Amino acid sequence: MTRHNHGTPILLLAASALIAASLACGPVAAPTATPAPTKTTAPPTATLTPAPALGIGSTQVSEKDGMVMVYVPEGEFLMGSADPDPDAGSDEKPQHTVYLDAYWIDKTEVTNAMFGIFAEATGYETDAEKAGWSFVLNPSTGSWEQTNGADWAHPRGPSTSLSGLEGHPVVHVSWNDASAYCEWAGRRLPTEAEWEKAARGTDGRKYPWGNDPVAGNLLNFADSNLNVDWADKSVDDSYQFTAPVGSYPDGASPYGALDMAGNVWEWANDRYDENYYRNSPSENPVGPSSGGYRVQRGGSWYNFDVFVRAASRDWAVPSNWFGHVGFRCSLSP
């Protein structure tokens, strides 16, 4: 090896120079490690179950009173009675096509137990309670008698109670009382058109179950259990007065509504006008804008077959009450 005078090898001098130059430029950064790839998992895809479509057979339950409600889809139906019908009254004509938006209606009439919840929660007094009397049928004579102390909680007079009648329809209620209940329950009284469509469907049938004549398994009406001249003594529906709601499933309407023929008359929201069908709207009719009477529908345990037809109409002063009149409520979606 060639050496200089100071004895330092040339190669060592070169290396020293390189190190010095490096230090002058600052520290040398350590190499950065490449991170190992991590396994990623795709987030799970949420599976949404669509809400079932509403249609015939759909039901819901009212939170306020536990009433089951049935669904009536939107569409047209035949309202009223055709001219050839010998049982039809003049106020049921002309038969006409009506379109209704979809709605819910109570499956049965409002019961004594349900009305009791309302009365206890609100302190409500019915018109009969305020008056101190109501009309009660005397079963031996078949006539209605003004009876002091009769009201919804004492249906046959002051000495009677609702024991055993909790599931029967409430009676001795006026239109005012029925309207107040439906408002409390978050519902409303049905229009006359809503009531009739729910009772007979779209095909113009005579009764909720179809066109077959009345029978003891279909409804509660004036039959062999009732002492009145017009009672059909060939039929036994098992009850003299009211029957528990829902006692006649064979008599259900096309939408599953029960007791829409017989048991008790039911208040509708509409005012009554004998000639209303001649010029009523073809869509969502709500009845006349004025008039002193309110409509009743469906007939009762006191009436014969003509009055329990789906198209039959009756009326009363809204402050009136009787022992064969009740109601059910309705609701817009």
Is the pLDDT at 152 greater than 50? The verdict is yes
- Cα of 97 vs its chain's centroid, Å: 23
Condensed to tens digits (0 to 9), the pLDDT of residues 24-57 reads 334 444 444 545 555 555 555 555 666 679 999 9
Positive or negative, the Cα torsion across 243, 218, 316, 326? positive
Residue of 260, 244, 326 lying closest to 298 (CA atoms): 260
Residue-level pLDDT at 48: 61
Q: What is the pTM of this model?
A: 0.85
Residue-level pLDDT at 13: 30
Q: Tell me if 265 sits within 8 A of 296, measured CB to CB.
A: yes
Q: What is the CA radius of gyration of the chain?
A: 38
Q: Tell me if 110 sits within 8 A of 98, measured CB to CB.
A: no
Give percent helix, percent strand, percent coil of the chain, each to the nearest 5.
20, 20, 60
Residue-level pLDDT at 10: 32
Does any domain span residue 47? no
Task: Give the C-alpha separation, 240 to 221, whole Å.
Answer: 9
Residue-level pLDDT at 66: 97
Residue-level pLDDT at 218: 98
Amino acid at 221: F
Task: Give the C-alpha separation, 247 to 8, whole Å.
Answer: 122
DSSP characters over 248-259: -GGG--TTS---
Percent of the chain at pLDDT exceeding 90: 83
Residue of 81, 77, 76 lying closest to 311 (CA atoms): 81
Does any domain span residue 251? yes
Residue at token pair 């039929």: 235
* Assigned token pair, 275: 């000639």
Is the pLDDT at 88 greater than 60? The verdict is yes
Does any domain span residue 56? no
| Segment among 22-31, 147-156, 215-224 with least mean pLDDT | 22-31
- Cα of 206 vs its chain's centroid, Å: 23
Does any domain span residue 40? no
State mean pLDDT over 10-29: 37
CATH code for the domain in which residue 120 is found: 3.90.1580.10
- H/E segment holding residue 134: strand 133-138
Q: Which domain holds residue 177?
A: 69-331
Does any domain span residue 192? yes
Residue-level pLDDT at 22: 38
Is the pLDDT at 190 greater than 80? The verdict is yes
Does any domain span residue 153? yes
Residue-level pLDDT at 52: 77
State mean pLDDT over 242-259: 98
SS3 217: coil
Condensed to tens digits (0 to 9), the pLDDT of residues 299-316 reads 999 999 999 999 999 999
Does any domain span residue 62? no
Q: What are phi and psi of 188, to 5 degrees?
A: -155, 165
Residues 6 or more apart in contact with residue 42 via CB below 8 angstroms = none
Mean pLDDT of the chain: 89
Task: Give the C-alpha separation, 106 to 255, whole Å.
Answer: 11
Residue-level pLDDT at 31: 47
Is the pLDDT at 21 greater than 60? The verdict is no
Per the structure, the count of domains in the chain is: 1
Range list of H helices, the chain: 10-24, 112-122, 127-131, 175-184, 192-200
Task: Give the C-alpha separation, 295 to 315, whole Å.
Answer: 4
Q: Tell me if 163 sits within 8 A of 239, measured CB to CB.
A: no
Does any domain span residue 45? no
CB atoms within 10 A of CB 26: 7
Residue-level pLDDT at 5: 40
